Amino acid sequence: PLQSKKMDRMDIDDDEPAVAARKEAPFSEEFAHIEALEVTDKDAALKAWGGIAAAPVEGKDDFALKRKEAAILKQGKLLLKLHKTTELGQLILATRPFLDSLSKARGGQLFKNLLDFFLETPNAVEEKVAICNDCIEWAQAEKRTFLRQSLEIRLVQLHLQAHSFQSALARINPMLRELKRLDDKSLLVDVHLMESKAYYAVSNYPKARAALVAARSLANGIYCPPKMQAALDLQSGILHAQEGDFKTAYSYFYEAFEGFDSATAPSQAIQGLKYMLLTKIMLDQASEVSSVITGKLALQYSGRDLDAMTAIANASIHRSLAEFHAALATYHVELAADLIISAHLQELRDSLLQQNLVRLVEPFARVEIGHIAGVIGLETDIVERKLSQMILDKKLNGILDQGTGCLAIFDAPAADKTYTAALATVQQMGHVVDALYKRAQKIF
């Protein structure tokens, strides 16, 4: 009898995986069919995912909950592929009641995934901000503290993308106070990094550096994921480049590029690579840009972004302002949209303009400003302002005759060596006096 009971129990145990497999089989088959439908008829697939996601779940049926949760994620991914921002926002709002059926950790993860899909869609910044604000209020009412903090971080990232830096800083300060009280170091690193970016954007560089130092200090005491470490390196490089230390900035950008590449973040890796090339150009090493682009890691990221930097590098090599302006016109989106690149390219443009003006006026003793403007291809007012600045900075020895609209160039004055010779004589006399004093001490 004991043996038969044991056998019966073993039979039951052996049947359990089979029952589970029978329950899972329709789940996987159904999803595989809808995924195949995504290739041929995306609208029908979207409708199918929506049907499963909208279906009510009775009781605490774990299988039904998993099925609905997976369908919601699949629907979100498909809406992201189709760039349907409004529909994704509606899905987020419709999913909130379903989260009560899941554990807080599981529901929070599902909600954050949906919100990430929503934020990845292009444009519609105002709509994204409105949805984020609504979700933060909901999370606060539901007392989901950790979810609310994650949502607030995403809202700050939205403000940074929309260049609403004051709004971002207004959100960051109360978040820092709360996170310091909770001692959540991981989130504090994120928030301090965003604070550094916001202060940099409003040209408050001391506070930007202080926020970055705080983020790095916290990151040293915890496990820092490769992607976050790369983001810290990128911000460090940006601040060093702002100070004019492009050699150190290049090292940080290289570390950031490698980090983003290993973390499979292509858009951020391209950003790091572009900044690497920018530092090479600013270091007057534009000839090395091609060797960096053809490197093993960089080769996979070839495209318009790298073509834009190559065009700027060629303009820098040829010292050609015309090529520089042509590159800016051709690759306006890739160059002007990035605030960091745009700011440094303005410096490069000023440098190229100055070099071109010096080369043009060198053969003349007196030349019309209009003639210089015509040769260089710029408006007379711009050329006149730049010449005036160069004269004030003592980079050009001459005067502007506004009555005749001419630039008069003087020969470089001969260096007066009288002052230098007088200083040398006084110095030598000092040595003589010192030697006489030592001798006098020996006598007496």
Q: And the tokens for 246?
A: 């492009």
Q: Is the pLDDT of residue 20 over 80?
A: no
Residue bearing the bigger pLDDT, 427 or 264: 427
Q: Is the pLDDT of residue 14 over 70?
A: no
| pLDDT in the model for residue 334 | 86
CA gap 372, 261 in Å, rounded: 47
Residue bearing the bigger pLDDT, 411 or 242: 242
Q: CA 167 → CA 126, 158, 170, 202, 426, distances in Å?
A: 13, 10, 5, 12, 63
Tell me the three state secondary structure of residue 408.
strand
Q: Please write the tens of the pLDDT for every residue from 165-175.
A: 898 999 998 88
Q: Is the pLDDT of residue 16 over 60?
A: no
| Residue in 78, 173, 170, 86 with CA at minimum distance from that of residue 126 | 86
Q: Please write the tens of the pLDDT for every residue from 250-294.
A: 999 999 999 998 888 888 899 999 999 999 999 988 888 888 888
Tell me the three state secondary structure of residue 374.
helix
Q: Is the pLDDT of residue 208 over 70?
A: yes
92 CB neighbour count, 10 Å cutoff: 21
| pLDDT in the model for residue 207 | 94
Q: Is the pLDDT of residue 2 over 50?
A: no
User: pTM for the whole thing?
Assistant: 0.74
Mean pLDDT score, 90-115: 86
| pLDDT in the model for residue 279 | 93
User: Which range has the worst mean pLDDT, 20-29, 175-184, 228-237?
Assistant: 20-29
CA gap 125, 303 in Å, rounded: 26
Q: Is the pLDDT of residue 51 over 90?
A: no
Torsional class of 58: left (φ above 0), alpha (ψ -120 to 50), beta (otherwise): beta
- 381, burial (CB in 10 Å: exposed 0-12, middle 13-18, buried 19+): exposed
Helices (H), 183-245: 185-201, 205-220, 226-242
Q: Which residue has the tokens 């303005």?
A: 346
Percent of the chain with pLDDT over 90: 21
Tell me the three state secondary structure of residue 413.
coil
Mean of the per-residue pLDDT values of the chain: 84
Q: Which residue has the tokens 């318009």?
A: 304
| pLDDT in the model for residue 4 | 39
425 CB neighbour count, 10 Å cutoff: 10
Q: Which residue has the tokens 């020895």?
A: 397
| pLDDT in the model for residue 241 | 92
